[in-house]
Structure 1
Amino acid sequence: MELNVYLSGEIHTDWREQIIKGCQSYDLNIVFCSANTDHDTSDSAGDILGAEQQSFWRDHKSAKVNAIRTKTLIERCDIAIIRFGDKYKQWNAAFDAGYCAALSKPYITLHREDIVHPLKEVDAAAHAWATTPMQVVETLKYLASK
């Protein structure tokens, strides 16, 4: 079975690469997709529609352009992996989790145990919670098994 997996959330560590490489090591039939993970191009996505003088409007425009990508990819995926990292609050990841929940799209959260409390509502709607990328790989291996 082929799975389309959306990788959402924290962009400061290599968790995406760990999951992709782990799934490749098992030769799983999985297609991965993700939001734009490059700060500069994400922040400037709205610039293609015209420059803005105020940072609020630049951010607003870029958020809307990025939302087109995110919305489309989440709607097309079979399952989402939503990572909450240690250094920054990932409001976008929480929003993606809520969107998945609203669409009845299964998702797995990936985060450390010490942030269980602030993520309790997000985790409550998730179909699984993992603490390591390898746990995600093993779960995807089970889901993609023939």
Structure 2
Amino acid sequence: MYTVYLAGEIHSNWREEIIIGCKGCDIKFLTPEHDHQSSDDIGKNVVGEQDSSFYNDHVSAKINSMRNHTYIKQSDIVVVRFGEKYKQFNAAFDAGYANALDKKLIVIHPQEFIHALKEIDAAASAVVNSPSQVVDILKHLVR
């Protein structure tokens, strides 16, 4: 059984597409908190409103990183999606962290990001442009 962490863009249903596409396969999926508001507000919900938005974000990021880093460490494969609409610096961080832990990395991004993500792509075992291609790779691995 593989454990796969699905990191990156949180504004679309790409994770569900992969999980549904791999239904019946011997794969365990882990994800970050992908409810954007819950992720952003966890710090102030736990320790209260901070003096500035910087510190609100800082506290939330530290709490969220406990989940993200734990799941990356538990994973055999990390899939990182860079979406088209937003700059996902957190996705780049997750990809680098996974690479530093010698995790196998699958990167999803549109063609126009090739130059911007060339170092991340160079560290990846596979670079694709759609979740369905990730499904194909994962199904191949569990055959």
TM-score range normalised by the length of the shorter chain? over 0.9
Deviations 1:7-54 (A, max 9, x none): 001111111111011101xx1011111111111110111121233131
Task: Give structure 1 stretches of 5+ with no counterpart.
Answer: none
Identical counterparts, % of pairs: 50
| Alignment partners' CA distance in 1, 2:76 and 2:47 | 31
Residue identity in the other structure for 2:30: C
Report what 1:106 is aligned to: 104
Runs of 4+ in 1 over 3 A off after TM superposition: none
Q: Which runs of 5+ in 2 are unaligned?
A: none
The structure 1 residue matched to 2:65, chosen from 47, 64, 67, is 67
* Alignment-derived partner of residue 84 in structure 1: 82
Matched, 1:95 2:93: yes
Query: Where do 1:1-146 residues align within 5 Å?
Result: 2-24=1-23, 27-47=24-44, 48-145=46-143
Give the aligned residue type for 2:8: G
TM-score by length of 1: 0.94
Q: Following the alignment from structure 2 to structure 1, what is the Cα–Cα distance between the partners of residues 65 and 130? A: 27
Q: Distance in 2 between matches of 1:57 and 1:32?
A: 31
Aligned residue pairs total: 142
Q: Which amino acid aligns with 1:9?
A: G
TM-score, with length taken from structure 2: 0.96
Mapped partners of 1:12, 1:46: distance in 2: 21
Rounded to whole Å, the distance in 2 between the matches of 1:54 and 1:64 is 16
Structure 2 residue matching 1:44: 3-state secondary structure: helix
- The amino acid across from 2:29 in the alignment is F
Over the residues paired in the alignment, what is the CA RMSD in angstroms? 0.9
